[in-house]
Amino acid sequence: MIDNMVKQIFLEEKRKSKMNDVKMLDLAKFPSENPNPVLRVSKDKVIYINKAGYEILKVQANDPVPAIILESVKKVLDTNAATSLESEFGKQIFVFNITPIENEEYLNIYGLNITDRKKAEEEIRLHSEIMTNMTEGVYLIRLDDGIIVYANPRFEKMFGYNQGEMIGQDVTIVNAPTDKTPEEIKEEIVAILKETGEWHGEVENIKKDGTPFWCYANVSTFNHPEYGRVIVSVHTDITERKEIEDELKKSEDIIHEAYQRAEIYKDLFAHDISNILQNIKSSIGLLSMWQKNPQNQEILNEVITIVDHQVFRGAKLITNIQRLSQISEEPELIGINPFGILDEAVQFIKKSYSDKLIEIEINSQIRGAKIMANDLLLDIYENLMVNSVKYNKNPTIRIQIKVSKTREDNLDYLKFEFIDNGIGISDSLKGEIFQGTTKHEDKSKGMGLGLILVRKIILSYKGKIWVEDKVKGDPTQGSNFIVLLLGVK
């Protein structure tokens, strides 16, 4: 029994011994089978080198230490401190880790092929260099929460932030509020990215100091090794281009408006001057018929008056054309008492139509008030009253001018009402007479240029004008032209 136990113990120990021998053999195989260089060297010769080391360094055991690592070997043996060394062998790059052995006069060297790693590092460095020097701004945002995780220097400068200041902030800090909030803009773009993977377009951004500006953005998504699914956005500042486009659009609008206005002026001028010349021609014909008969003197005087009125109309038409060309959108305005100029206009109308019975009444309790205007104010008064006289078939022409104070949109105005007993203006024409778009019918012909001039002057004063019925709902009883001009405090 005891013999069997001893035998079992002996066999077990022998088995363990064999296992250790196998392990030792495996360990012995490790350097020789290692695909990277493994060496043991003393200060002057190679003690051991595996096959991979031989293929790289071209030395064998007992050969001198390769010159490429000799200085590093001496340094490690002298200082007993490990070091590493990178070297190129053709197209391959190796790092050699040189490790001293305690209380021994030799050391171990472990080589590692880092060619792929160096290429990856160089590629990363190159990409970083490109990102740093790009003329476009680039930033990365985590897709799941919209947090900025990277911004290149150009992007930071474009938005007015210091280096690293944008990191960790929500992407909404770059979106300018428009008709949508920054959050709504973010959600809209993210939704498109989740569906299509990319987005391109113009976007209004905002700098750190609150200055808005325009960018064209190319946006896409990719999987980042550190941040997961991210949005990469490349921004190009197009503010200057947008400003040029806006200026071009404004210029086009101005040219188009000027062309349309010129067409209107041309038609109105041609119509009015044609009427004037036709009236003068007819009057000359009557003069030729009746000038030899003394009994027709009264009729001749009437014809002369008609001619005189037509000459006045022609002169007024030319004056209006000249005035239209003189009006600027931003005129120089001063505080003016409007009543002295109004009195002057009343006298002009009465003198110009001396053959007609005209009653003009001015009602106001604020004759000391002033408005912001210039010398074109007289043209407003004259054209409105000329209009009241021309389109009036009553034996007595009555014009009542009311002046009062009013307040609209937190602004103080003087309100002028020119109320007449003329033929009136139908509701269908009330919105057109200031635009020069009315058809040349008996009740509207000739109103064009005078009222266009009036409206343009008033708008340049930042004022308002419209027309109502003298008697509400009955345009045949006459008109009430209402003018609001900014008062002086």
Please tell me the least confidently modeled range out of 22-26, 405-409, 427-431.
22-26
- Residue 254, token pair as written in the block: 């101005």
Q: Which carries the bigger pLDDT value, residue 481 or residue 190? A: 481
pLDDT at position 276 is 60
Task: State the residue for tokens 């002298």.
Answer: 78
Using pLDDT thresholds of 50, 70 and 90, give the confidence band for residue 418: very high
Is residue 108's pLDDT more than 90? yes
Residues 6+ apart with CB under 8 A from 229: 142, 143, 144, 221, 222, 223
Computed over every residue of the chain, the mean pLDDT equals: 81
Q: Which residue has the higher pLDDT, 382 or 6?
A: 382
pLDDT of residue 286: 56
Give the contacts of 386 (CB within 8 A, at least 6 positions apart): 316, 349, 352, 450
d(CA 142, CA 357): 84
pLDDT of residue 275: 56
Amino acid at 420: D
Confidence of residue 336 (pLDDT cuts 50, 70, 90): very high
Q: How many CA atoms lie within 13 A of 163 on its CB side?
A: 2
pLDDT band at 26 (very low <50, low <70, confident <90, very high): very low
Q: Which of 95-104, 179-188, 290-299, 477-486 is predicted with the least confidence, judged by mean pLDDT?
A: 290-299
Q: Say what the pLDDT of residue 249 is.
A: 84
Assess whether pLDDT exceeds 50 at residue 97.
yes
- Set out the domains of the chain in order of their start, with CATH numbers: 34-117 (3.30.450.20), 134-237 (3.30.450.20), 240-310 (no CATH), 327-486 (3.30.565.10)
pLDDT at 443: 39
Report pLDDT for 287.
Answer: 61
pLDDT per residue as tens digits for the range 306-319: 666 666 656 666 66
* Over residues 185-189, mean pLDDT: 83
pLDDT-above-90 percentage for the chain = 38
pLDDT digits (tens, 9 = 90+) for 213-248: 999 999 998 888 888 888 888 988 988 888 888 888
Give the confidence band of 192 by pLDDT, cuts at 50, 70, 90. Answer: confident
Residue 394's pLDDT is what? 94
Whether the pLDDT of residue 1 is over 50: the answer is no
Taking the C-alpha atoms of residue 134 and residue 152, their distance in angstroms, rounded to an integer, is 8
Q: Which among 171, 167, 169 is positioned nearest to 188, based on CA atoms?
A: 171
Residue 464 pLDDT exceeds 90: yes
Most confident of 299-303, 305-309, 336-340: 336-340
Looking at residue 245, its pLDDT comes to 83
| Mean pLDDT on 281-303 | 62
End-to-end CA distance of the chain: 130
pLDDT at 165 over 70: yes
- Please check whether residue 57 is in contact with residue 73, taking contact to mean a CB–CB distance below 8 angstroms: no
The reported pLDDT for the residue numbered 37 is 93
Alpha-carbon gap, residue 90 to 130, rounded angstroms: 28
Are the C-beta atoms of 231 and 220 separated by less than 8 Å?
Answer: yes
pLDDT at 454: 86
Tell me, what's the pLDDT at 24?
42
What confidence score (pLDDT) does residue 444 get?
37
Alpha carbons 213 and 242: distance in angstroms, whole number: 9
pLDDT over threshold 70, residue 271: no
pLDDT category, 82, cuts 50, 70, 90? very high
Judge whether residue 46 has pLDDT over 80. Answer: yes
pLDDT at residue 400 tops 90 = yes
Whole-angstrom distance, CA of residue 431 vs CA of residue 420:
19
Give the pLDDT of residue 15: 54
Question: Is the per-residue pLDDT at 434 higher than 90?
Answer: no
Average pLDDT over residues 196-214: 90
pLDDT at 10 over 50: no
Among 183, 247, 248, 176, which Cα is nearest to 212's? 176
Percent of residues, the chain, with pLDDT higher than 70? 74
CA 275/CA 281 separation, integer angstroms: 10
